[in-house]
Amino acid sequence: MIQQPAPVNLVVSSGEPAGVGPEVSIAGALAFLQEQSAVTITLLGDRGLFPASSIPENLSTRLRIESIPLSSSVTAGQLNPANAQYVLNILDVAVKGCVDGRFDAMVTAPVQKSVINDGNTSGGVLFTGHTEYLATLCHQEHVVMMLCATLPAGFLDLQKSRELRVALVTTHIPLREVPDAMNRQHVLETIQIVDHDLRTKFGLVKPVLRVAGLNPHAGESGYLGREEIDLIAPAIQAAKELGIQVSGPYPGDTMFDAGALDSVDAFIAMYHDQGLAPFKFVSFGGGVNVTLGLPIIRTSVDHGTALDIAGKGVVDSGSMLEALRLAYQLAVNVKNLKT
């Protein structure tokens, strides 16, 4: 007897209402429901952003819209700070639903950080991004941003498709603040979180990790900076002593070796652009953002609100589809590990 896959309940927060979030949310959801039968999807957002006619009758029982009212009217492509709290409201509902077990994973459409801060709705705390906001909601001091993409066979002379995963030690902070935001314990915790979630959510038995240095040439034995000697190398050694398969620090410009894709499960960069510039160059807009270290599963598109094309019917929902696929797979992995 063939065992049917356990049903998975996903929730999508549709993001900034004036951007492409609502469009990619419903388009990606419809595409994923067509390819995966063991899933239901709940879209969070004002019902007026999702015309009822866009949902085929045969999918209406598996694609639900949970309406959360806008604070003000919306014009595609035009930001309105009055809707800043609305954006946070749908995130709050999605997180609570996952924590309470109502949903198995959440997928987020893009938000506009500037308009949330302009709306002065974050209690005096600067909104720096989904990653940091979700950490606060879930009462986690340290979470890790990781981007994932499948590189196709033939690209970079790959014999078969490979998974590229890039995690970050620091995320949305000014470049001049990066060294001060780093310490040995923070680097070690990042390595531990990546290793833990690759095992418990991605189902990898013994993940292999590579860690970058901070400075050019990984500090050139201290001549170009001592962070590698004082912080990063000791953290790597401590992780090794905990049984984690990790190596480094590697120079940032040579760490991303195509030949390493056969053996490395995740690359860990020290700051945002060190990791995401090479990632986005090769991921063809099909990357997925995953937040590690949360008690819930969260994936996201790897693009912004694209205000210039919002409402014009030309947006590509490929990244949302990939985010839904990964959220589903991680939810299945977690269910299987519990049985």
Is residue 272 within a helix (H) or strand (E), and if so which, with residue range? helix 272-282
Same domain, 231 and 327: no
pLDDT at 286: 81
Same domain, 85 and 30: yes
Q: Does the pLDDT at position 3 exceed 70?
A: no
pLDDT at 60: 87
pLDDT at 113: 87
Same domain, 29 and 67: yes
The SS3 call for residue 193 is helix
pLDDT band at 1 (very low <50, low <70, confident <90, very high): very low
pLDDT in tens, 190-205: 999 999 999 999 999 9
pLDDT in tens, 52-99: 777 888 888 999 999 999 999 999 999 999 999 999 999 999 999 999
pLDDT band at 279 (very low <50, low <70, confident <90, very high): very high
Q: At 92, give phi and psi (nearest 5°).
A: -60, -40
Same domain, 107 and 167: no
pLDDT in tens, 205-226: 999 999 999 999 999 999 999 9
Q: What CATH number should be reported for the domain holding residue 257?
A: 3.40.718.10
pLDDT in tens, 118-170: 765 545 456 778 888 999 999 999 999 999 999 998 888 888 899 999 999 99
pLDDT at 122: 47
Same domain, 134 and 146: no
Domain count, the chain: 2
The proportion of the chain whose per-residue pLDDT surpasses 70, expressed as a percent, equals: 96
Same domain, 164 and 196: yes
Same domain, 107 and 160: no
Q: Does the pLDDT at position 2 exceed 50?
A: no
Higher pLDDT, 3 or 199: 199
Same domain, 277 and 197: yes
pLDDT band at 337 (very low <50, low <70, confident <90, very high): confident
Structural domain for 281, as ranges: 141-293
Same domain, 229 and 179: yes
**pTM score > 0.95 for this model?**
no
The proportion of the chain whose per-residue pLDDT surpasses 90, expressed as a percent, equals: 79
Tell me the DSSP string of 88-109.
Answer: HHHHHHHHHHHHTTS-SEEEE-
Q: Does the pLDDT at position 236 exceed 50?
A: yes
**How distant, in Å, are the alpha carbons of 70, 194, 211, 225 from that of 229?**
51, 22, 13, 8
Compute the mean pLDDT over every residue in the chain, rounded to the nearest whole number: 92
Same domain, 136 and 149: no
Cα–Cα dist 21/286, whole Å: 16
Q: Does the pLDDT at position 237 exceed 70?
A: yes
Cβ atoms < 10 Å from Cβ of 81? 17
Same domain, 135 and 147: no
Same domain, 51 and 131: yes
Say which range, 174-178, 246-250, 266-270, 314-318, has the weakest mean pLDDT.
Answer: 314-318
